[in-house]
A = this chain, B = another copy of it.
């Protein structure tokens, strides 16, 4: 029930045609991309693992959830065994640097691999994701001795890690947190406080769990300038590195959530016994948020990709059902009942799902390639230019993809009709699982604020203009095409770009004087940016597909499907741009009345 088949042909097309793979493959440590056979082998093997090991546990985990007791958290049946297979195959460390025992694969390739794990079992995949983020933070902030003690067993997957930011009064505003870390004579700290919404804060997949915890040292400045980052292991280590006594940290309960049932969301109590949880400072005092922010782009990108992954899963479910379910006759057609995929509105829904999923994927992979180049290209100008694109696009991708995924996964329920409302069909799980993507790692509001303030107003729109000039090149190529369909795509994309230019110019011009009014329209502006980003990539995809078709290269049926997706995106998604542009610029009425008017 609800199998998952990785869309490998599509993934390879996006990698090859849209994600700057040639430049990425030239980076040091990127052999896996420069050798197409190796790339294929990795993708094939990940697809097999996702299909055979992870997907069958997805509904199991949704139904069983996790069990909490005083002794700890038990994950769903099969999860512990799957985790062992996962780390034995080395999937947990493909993105970690080879100098620490990881496989150091480029972000671009890891993005495709991660997508498969998340599509097949989002709740499972989030555990190794968190460990990956933590290892990167340790590499950035830990002393050499902490690195050597902790990183190796995180990289092997023997241990897992968590990120502890949120407290009941400190959600989007991390600066409001109160957990305190008292310095000890031996250079360690003792932590006291409560953290909430800690994913995989406690579980039975690994023998130790390394918590990265934000806390305040007494006397630290107020707000976000007085926050330090600590490493707090569940089990302390003996001098020889073996596991010693249980630290003073405890999981006080797990949440019952709309989705992600198999991923434990824990309330963590530090210092509950009165002794305090032993922790080690990472990086400098009061600079904890800087180390955390180091991971923020990674984490936000990963959450954006959860949206692609769940949308793909929802599309596969809806498509399978639409092919198999026979119901109703076609208007103007014969007297035979037909599979519902023949019904026009079902086709519209499926194409709306597919074209947006493909757009998200293309933006994600293009962004992943840019992240590789920004990090490791030999030319510092390329690094700077790509980093500016990445910084601009991360909040756009995260915000747009997570909001779009709500629509796509909800549409899958609709395609299923009455059965979609029944939990046994599995149709609602992608919506329930992905609904949090627009919330965690910064809500869509937070992404839109970041976009307007840091990515548009701060540089006066320079990064945006650089990106839009890339789109102009694509528009010229579309205009030159012999194929009228491509010119239609150009016309819709051009109007959408103009709408974005108008609204973003307005936002940049008005942000200093009237920040609240601009912010009231910032989410529509972010969605507009995302829709244009998707349209840009779908247009590039259409050009590539048309070129291969003309040259007689490649799989013609696939290439025609891609053209269809691009046309549909241009006809059904891009026309939303003008409305969003107007909306983004006309939100002043939200700020004109007092709170009592609500």
A417, B171: Cβ atoms closer than 8 Å: yes
B171, A327: Cβ atoms closer than 8 Å: yes
Closest to A453 in B: B331
A435, B410: Cβ atoms closer than 8 Å: yes
- Tell me whether A378 is interfacial, beta carbon within 8 Å: no
B448, A345: Cβ atoms closer than 8 Å: yes
A319, B258: Cβ atoms closer than 8 Å: no
Which B residues are in CB contact (< 8 Å) with A327?
169, 171-173, 176
Q: In whole angstroms, what is the CA distance A173 to B322 when docked?
A: 15
B523, A348: Cβ atoms closer than 8 Å: yes
Which of A187-195, A236-244, A511-519 makes up part of the contact surface?
A511-519
Q: In whole angstroms, what is the CA distance A272 to B275 when docked?
A: 67
A515, B332: Cβ atoms closer than 8 Å: yes
Which B residues are in CB contact (< 8 Å) with A577?
579
A445, B346: Cβ atoms closer than 8 Å: yes
Which of A30-38, A117-125, A533-541, A565-573 makes up part of the contact surface?
A565-573
- Tell me whether A255 is interfacial, beta carbon within 8 Å: yes
- Tell me whether A304 is interfacial, beta carbon within 8 Å: no
Q: In whole angstroms, what is the CA distance A420 to B564 when docked?
A: 37
* Minimal beta-carbon separation of A569 from chain B (angstroms): 10
Which B residues are in CB contact (< 8 Å) with A587?
344, 348, 571-572
B519, A176: Cβ atoms closer than 8 Å: no
- Tell me whether A131 is interfacial, beta carbon within 8 Å: no
Residues of A in contact, count (CB < 8 Å)? 97
- Tell me whether A328 is interfacial, beta carbon within 8 Å: yes
* Minimal beta-carbon separation of A133 from chain B (angstroms): 18
- Tell me whether A408 is interfacial, beta carbon within 8 Å: no
List CB contacts (< 8 Å) of A426-484 with chain B: 428, 432, 435-436, 438-440, 443-445, 448-449, 453
List CB contacts (< 8 Å) of A526-581 with chain B: 557, 560-561, 564, 567-568, 571-572, 575-580
A428, B258: Cβ atoms closer than 8 Å: yes
Contact of A598 among B258, B330, B354 (CB under 8 A): B354
Which B residues are in CB contact (< 8 Å) with A517?
344
Q: In whole angstroms, what is the CA distance A432 to B421 when docked?
A: 9
- Tell me whether A67 is interfacial, beta carbon within 8 Å: no
Which B residues are in CB contact (< 8 Å) with A326?
169
Q: In whole angstroms, what is the CA distance A330 to B173 when docked?
A: 11
> Given the known A-B contacts A171-B417, A345-B522, A414-B443, are A516 and B331 also in contact in the complex, defined by CB atoms under 8 Å?
yes
- Tell me whether A342 is interfacial, beta carbon within 8 Å: yes
B421, A439: Cβ atoms closer than 8 Å: yes
B595, A341: Cβ atoms closer than 8 Å: yes
- Tell me whether A197 is interfacial, beta carbon within 8 Å: yes
Which B residues are in CB contact (< 8 Å) with A351?
589-590, 598
Q: In whole angstroms, what is the CA distance A449 to B329 when docked?
A: 12
Q: Which residues of A contact B (CB under 8 A)?
A: 166, 169, 171-173, 176, 196-197, 255-259, 265, 319, 322-323, 326-332, 337, 339, 341-348, 350-351, 354, 406, 410, 413-414, 417-418, 420-424, 428, 432, 435-436, 438-440, 443-445, 448-449, 453, 515-517, 519-524, 557, 560-561, 564, 567-568, 571-572, 575-580, 582-583, 586-587, 589-593, 595-598
Given contacts A258-B432, A410-B410, A575-B583, list 17 more A-B pairs with CB under 8 A.
A166-B418, A171-B327, A176-B327, A323-B598, A330-B516, A331-B515, A341-B595, A344-B522, A344-B587, A346-B445, A348-B520, A413-B439, A557-B596, A571-B582, A571-B583, A575-B586, A579-B579
5 contacting pairs across A/B (C-beta < 8 A): A322-B598, A323-B598, A341-B598, A571-B583, A572-B586
